[in-house]
Amino acid sequence: MTHFSAFSPFSGTAGYRRAAAVALGAGSLALIAGCSGGTGSSAASLTPRTAITLAADQAQKVNSMSATMSVQVSGASSESTAGTIQMQLKPGLLVAESLDITAQGQTIPMDAVLSPKAIYLRSSAFSALTGQTGKAWLEIPFSDVSGSAGSALASLFQNVQNGDPMTQARMLAASKNAREVGTQVIDGVRTTHYTGTFTPQAALAKLSPRLRTQLAPLMKLITGDVRFNTWIDAQHMVRRTSEVESVAGETVTTTVTITSINKPVQITVPPKSQALTPPKGALGGTS
């Protein structure tokens, strides 16, 4: 019998937190996608709060997008994730990621596909188990992830699927000190750069009661203010966003750069014949 503890550097509870982090990164991108799209006045003529909020107004026009993402964790542990993401928002929400995850001195490539109900992972880190079954993918249903992460992931995806992808913009708009920094060219596109901070409590207050209840457990893990930078072009499209927050005593820096909008993407959910689902309870009690 093969134990899940063989999946270094994804072993044990910490390993499944990393898997959840991969999914949360995609969930964040889904919300950032809601800030992309629309036309109107030049961002330079708007107040920072208006520019940030306006970036979400016509999110329903975004059908697909691609981006690069990096997540750096520093503190007691030092871990990083970097790679590319493709996202289909319509007609149904799907995400595909190709990542390099560095932890415990090892760098391991990983492919991930996310649907509204599960995350599918493919990596040599899982070959000890999947190799015995002839299946290439590990399927982790969100319903099997204990604690707040599983329900929050499902809520994030359901939120976007239901046509309310403006959560991220509302959170950034909670800032009371957002200011314009200047202009910068991102991938050949001229943007206006805004920066500021917001508290988790203020961000939650901007959300609907339903979303506030769903996201409160995750937001409570953040201590102190969240620092952000966002770059918005003249058509109110977010071209890059970066956030820095403190979680469980460690500093997490997430940066997403959007490289294309409404261009074709190719995302396929692995068939059941190629996906192995771990027994319920194997993901541990903490996420």
Side by side, which strands form the sheet with 118-122?
179-186, 189-198, 222-233, 238-247, 250-261, 64-74, 79-88, 94-103, 106-114, 118-122, 137-141, 275-276
Task: Determine the topology of domain 4-274 in CATH.
Answer: outer membrane lipoprotein receptor (LolB), chain A (2.50.20)
Tens of pLDDT, residues 59-76 = 556 788 898 989 888 887
pTM: 0.76
pLDDT of residue 56: 61
- Residue indicated by tokens 């289909």: 88
Provide the CB-side half-sphere exposure for 209 (13 A, CA): 0
**Rounded Cα distance, 146 and 280, in Å:** 10
Tens of pLDDT, residues 145-167 = 655 555 555 655 555 554 444 56
C-alpha distance from residue 281 to each of 119, 140, 145, 206 (Å) = 16, 11, 8, 35
Over residues 121-128, the mean pLDDT reads 81
User: Strands (DSSP E) along 149-249, which ranges?
Assistant: 179-186, 189-198, 222-233, 238-247
User: Strands (DSSP E) along 89-206, which ranges?
Assistant: 94-103, 106-114, 118-122, 137-141, 179-186, 189-198
CB contact set of 50 (below 8 Å; sequence gap of 6+):
none
Cβ neighbourhood burial of 271 (10 Å; 0-12, 13-18, 19+): exposed
Q: Where are the domains of the chain?
A: 4-274
CB contact set of 284 (below 8 Å; sequence gap of 6+):
12, 13, 16, 146
**Top-confidence residue, 213 or 185:** 185
Lowest mean pLDDT among 115-119, 146-150, 167-171, 184-188: 146-150
Computed over every residue of the chain, the mean pLDDT equals: 75
**Rounded Cα distance, 35 and 28, in Å:** 11
In this prediction, residue 138 has a pLDDT band, given cuts at 50, 70 and 90, of confident
**Rounded Cα distance, 11 and 125, in Å:** 9
With b for 16 or more beta-carbon neighbours within 10 A and e for fewer, the 227-253 pattern comes to bbbbbbbbbbbbbbbbbbbbeeeeebe
**Rounded Cα distance, 246 and 39, in Å:** 35
pLDDT of residue 65: 86
Task: Report which listed range, 4-8, 21-25, 91-95, 108-112, is most confident.
Answer: 108-112
pLDDT of residue 152: 57
Nearest alpha carbon to residue 147 among 79, 44, 221: 221
